């Protein structure tokens, strides 16, 4: 019975590999769909914060003339769109629509004493047009807060008295300023409206009116101001978020998702789903960076964002600073003009790369009927390869693990389909590189120790040593040097093992892009979770396999390890490994920070190859893996390099977990890293051979001298 069970499991493994490969094939059309989707949106939109321009103009002696000049200058520099916030009294003051006073200042203005017990806000309009167009905005806004507003005049100028303190009045949001919209439209700019969720409670009729007005000015997209999308706060009571999504659909408007926010804007995912993912991604250049970063770096950032992260809108902030060197107030506009204009400017660079300036468009997503069945086959293949990984460490469990995996996946799909897809993608991403390195280590073992293993104990049985005695040249009962294979043969085998290992690792890639093929991942509205586990698990599993499974009984080897006396140098090595691991994890993901020198090196790689290969792959992991494979065919210690080289195998898979990066970019990045890493690895092998030859020659000379 036990023999039959082992036979069934052995055959099950073969069929699991067949199912795995079927999953890979089924994922390829889904990858083609994604590549086609990523090619449907190529125009980029340059947006300038109009509020920043108003604040800069406030520091100029002739603010009106300055505004006109800078609007023309920004237009010529390539800015196509101005962002416009919901108004406030302060913004209307900066725009020259009105002036405001508290009760004390208003009394002084009239030459009167300050009224006792009164603290109101007084507003004077600049002219009749401002009174007619801005007055109703103020009345409507404060009426929502049950704050009384009445007429007021001073020396022939019309105004309003708002019965609330000035500090409170300045915080109240108003509707969009129609006079500013007229100005921007007449100057040839599109408008990006910035809505907030501060107008409460949500008023569907008023919002519908505002959206209709914005649409008449050509507004096509909404960018949210604050940490919530409009309608989020009242969703539970008024179903306001759903209603806002319906209004956006009614007026044919989309929304904008800001890249790299510390916390995503609340309600963004739900709203994006409600409007059919009519979403574009935006990169925001901060006020500080607009001033401090060089024009060349800004242009390179924009190019990298459009090419590598599917960014289609660039939001440019600006500001003022006091400068002791120039003895005055300076702004960042000149630096921005240099970054945008000219043959080395961002606009020209992006246009040469295929990203013409225009209106940012959402991805055109195809949802063919055959995609869902194929995704089911991909999920089946993911369960199969995860089962193969478990069976590599726990023999004889392939059949029950596969069945349990199918049942568990089906149950998780019912509860949370997105979580099921991410779990299977993560499992496959860990399984493939681990299985690849397990296979490579078994091939090395077969060509050094041989397939025969000791039944008990922790020693490996060497070829030609059936009794299991320690061979000559062994230390502590373990053989460290293997003879009988020349350097040329080891080099050829190392190359073959390196190539096949990489191909097996890359089996995980179709599972990642096949399971996570929703546009929500491309827009980073959903994220592939478990990246830290992906960066650690294959390394740990490969190390575990080396320690417990490369010869003898794993249980006996574990027992021997647990009974070994702890050496001080073991503790030191463990501490060094822990520190290295923490540093390694700190450099993974988007949170990792790079030094100035490293950033310069990255920029050089980008400009040289067009696509930047991952540094840890081609400079560290791939070369060490090739060197480790070469050395391990002669020296047992070469296994250490194979363990370190596992970083490169998992990193290749992790490259495709950055789903906001276009698929073709990830493909180029991985194979470029493999090619460069292979070349550097060959150089390392050559250097090793030279050093080894010099060492042997020196040792031989020393032995001869001692003999004399």
Q: List pLDDT tens digits, range 144-186.
A: 999 999 999 999 999 999 999 999 999 999 999 999 999 999 9
Cα distances (angstroms) measured from residue 444 to each of 4, 111, 441, 450, 498: 30, 96, 5, 9, 12
The predicted pLDDT at position 703 comes to 81
Token reading at 579: 């520190």
The size of the chain, in residues, is 708
Per-residue pLDDT tens for 385-415? Answer: 999 999 999 988 999 999 999 999 999 999 9
Rounded distance, CA 244 to CA 230, Å?
Answer: 7
Rounded distance, CA 430 to CA 513, Å?
Answer: 14
State yes or no: pLDDT of 472 exceeds 50.
no
The predicted pLDDT at position 467 comes to 39
> Where is pLDDT greater, at 699 or 510?
510
Percent of the chain with pLDDT over 90: 73
Q: How many CB atoms lie within 10 A of CB 294?
A: 11
In this prediction, residue 452 has a pLDDT band, given cuts at 50, 70 and 90, of very low
| Of 240, 237, 228, residue with least CA distance to 203 | 240
Helix runs in 95-193, H state only:
103-110, 128-144, 166-169, 178-186
Q: How many CB atoms lie within 10 A of CB 347?
A: 23
- Buried-state track 549-580, b at ≥16 Cβ within 10 A, e below 16: bbbbbbebbeeeeeeeeeeeeeeeeeeeeeee
Cα distances (angstroms) measured from residue 324 to each of 327, 466, 550: 5, 84, 69
- Buried-state track 62-72, b at ≥16 Cβ within 10 A, e below 16: ebeebbeebbe
| Of 613, 32, 592, 520, residue with least CA distance to 310 | 520
Cα distances (angstroms) measured from residue 102 to each of 121, 157, 165, 173: 5, 17, 7, 18
Using DSSP's 3-state secondary structure scheme, residue 328 falls into: strand
The predicted pLDDT at position 584 comes to 58
Please compute the mean of the pLDDT values over residues 587-611 and round it to a whole number. Answer: 64
The predicted pLDDT at position 301 comes to 93
Per-residue pLDDT tens for 620-665? Answer: 999 999 999 999 999 988 988 999 999 999 999 999 999 999 999 9
Predicted TM-score (pTM) of the model is 0.86
Per-residue pLDDT tens for 294-312? Answer: 999 999 999 999 999 999 9
Rounded distance, CA 562 to CA 523, Å?
Answer: 49
Token reading at 21: 């490969």
The DSSP string of 210-253 is: HHHHHHHTT--EEEE-SSB-TTSTTHHHH-HHHHHHHHHHHHT-
Report whether 131 contacts 161 (CB < 8 A): no
> Where is pLDDT greater, at 529 or 523?
523
The predicted pLDDT at position 469 comes to 40
Cα distances (angstroms) measured from residue 156 to each of 94, 112, 127, 291: 22, 18, 10, 43
Rounded distance, CA 399 to CA 379, Å?
Answer: 17
Cα 616 → chain centroid: 17
Q: Average pLDDT over the chain, rounded to whole?
A: 89
| Of 566, 579, 682, 696, residue with least CA distance to 624 | 682
The predicted pLDDT at position 708 comes to 65
The predicted pLDDT at position 591 comes to 44
Please compute the mean of the pLDDT values over residues 261-280 and round it to a whole number. Answer: 95
In this prediction, residue 463 has a pLDDT band, given cuts at 50, 70 and 90, of very low
For the chain, domain boundaries? 2-38+372-478+507-705, 88-174
Residue 154 β-bridge partners: 157
Rounded distance, CA 549 to CA 543, Å?
Answer: 10
The predicted pLDDT at position 356 comes to 96
The predicted pLDDT at position 7 comes to 81
Please compute the mean of the pLDDT values over residues 15-27 and round it to a whole number. Answer: 97
Q: Out of 109-118, 372-381, 408-417, 448-457, which region has the weakest mean confidence (pLDDT)?
A: 448-457
Percent of the chain with pLDDT over 70: 89
Give the torsion sign (CA, 91, 95, 97, 102): positive
The predicted pLDDT at position 597 comes to 67
Token reading at 6: 């082992």
State yes or no: pLDDT of 462 exceeds 50.
no
């Amino acid at each position: 019975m036990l023999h039959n069970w082992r036979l069934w499991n052995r055959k099950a493994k073969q069929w699991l590999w067949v199912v795995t490969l079927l999953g890979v094939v089924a994922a390829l059309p889904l990858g083609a769909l994604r590549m086609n989707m990523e090619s449907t949106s190529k125009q980029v939109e340059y947006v300038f914060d109009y509020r920043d321009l108003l604040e800069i103009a406030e520091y100029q002696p002739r603010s009106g003339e300055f505004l006109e000049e800078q609007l023309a200058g920004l237009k010529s520099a390539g800015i196509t769109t101005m962002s416009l916030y919901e108004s406030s009294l302060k913004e209307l003051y900066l725009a020259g629509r009105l002036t405001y006073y508290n009760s004390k200042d208003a009394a002084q203005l009239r030459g009167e004493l300050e009224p006792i017990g009164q603290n109101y806000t007084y507003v004077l309009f600049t002219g009749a047009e401002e009174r007619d167009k801005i007055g109703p905005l103020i009345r409507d806004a404060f009426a929502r807060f049950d704050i009384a507003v009445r007429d007021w005049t001073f020396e022939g100028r019309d105004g309003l008295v708002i019965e609330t303190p000035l500090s409170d009045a300045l915080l109240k949001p108003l509707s969009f300023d129609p006079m500013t919209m007229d100005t921007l439209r007449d100057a040839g700019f599109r408008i990006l409206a910035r809505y907030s969720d501060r107008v409460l409670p949500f008023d569907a009729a008023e919002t519908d009116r505002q959206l209709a007005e914005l649409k008449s000015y050509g507004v096509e997209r909404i960018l949210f101001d604050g940490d919530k999308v409009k309608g989020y706060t009242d969703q539970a009571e008024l179903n306001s978020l759903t209603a806002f999504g319906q209004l956006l659909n009614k007026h044919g408007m989309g929304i904008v998702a800001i890249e790299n926010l510390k916390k995503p804007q609340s309600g963004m995912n739900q709203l994006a789903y409600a409007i059919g993912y009519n979403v574009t991604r935006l990169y925001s250049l901060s006020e500080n960076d607009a001033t401090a970063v060089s024009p060349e770096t800004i242009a390179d950032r924009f190019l990298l964002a459009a090419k590598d992260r599917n960014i289609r809108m660039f939001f440019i902030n600006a500001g003022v600073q006091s400068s002791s060197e120039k003895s005055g107030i300076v702004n960042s506009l000149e630096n921005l003009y240099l970054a945008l204009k000219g043959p080395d400017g961002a606009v020209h660079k992006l246009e040469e790369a295929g990203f013409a300036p225009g209106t940012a468009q959402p991805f055109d997503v195809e949802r063919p009927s055959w995609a869902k069945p194929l995704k089911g086959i991909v999920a089946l293949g993911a369960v199969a390869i995860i089962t193969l990984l478990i069976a590599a460490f726990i023999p004889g469990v392939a059949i029950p693990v596969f069945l349990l995996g199918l049942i568990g996946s089906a149950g998780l799909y019912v509860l949370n389909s997105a979580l099921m897809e991410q779990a299977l993608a993560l499992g496959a991403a860990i399984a493939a590189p681990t299985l690849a390195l397990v296979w490579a280590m078994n091939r090395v073992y077969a060509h050094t120790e041989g397939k025969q293993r000791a039944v008990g104990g922790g020693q490996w049985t060497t070829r030609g040593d059936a009794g299991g005695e320690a061979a000559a040249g062994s230390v502590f009962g373990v053989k460290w040097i293997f003879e009988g294979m020349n350097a040329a043969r080891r080099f050829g085998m190392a190359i073959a093992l390196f190539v096949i290992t990489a191909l097996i690792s890359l089996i995980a890639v179709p599972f990642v892009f096949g399971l996570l093929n929703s546009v929500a991942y491309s827009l980073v509205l959903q994220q592939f979770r478990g990246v830290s586990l992906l960066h650690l698990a294959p390394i740990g599993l490969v190390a575990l396999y080396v320690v417990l499974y490369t010869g003898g009984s794993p249980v006996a080897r574990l027992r021997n390890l647990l009974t070994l006396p702890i050496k001080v140098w073991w503790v030191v090595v463990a501490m060094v490994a822990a520190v290295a691991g923490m540093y390694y994890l700190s450099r993974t993901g988007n949170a990792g920070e790079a030094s100035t020198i490293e950033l310069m090196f990255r920029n050089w790689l980008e400009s040289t190859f067009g696509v930047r290969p991952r540094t840890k792959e081609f400079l560290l992991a791939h070369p060490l893996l090739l060197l480790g494979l070469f050395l391990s065919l002669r020296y047992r210690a070469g296994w250490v390099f194979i363990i370190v080289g596992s970083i490169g195998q998992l990193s290749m898979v992790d490259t495709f977990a950055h789903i906001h990066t276009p698929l073709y970019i990830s493909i180029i990045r991985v194979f470029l890293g493999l090619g460069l890493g292979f070349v550097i690895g060959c150089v390392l092998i050559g250097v090793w051979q030279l050093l080894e030859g010099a060492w042997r020659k020196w040792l031989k000379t020393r032995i001869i001298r001692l003999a004399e």
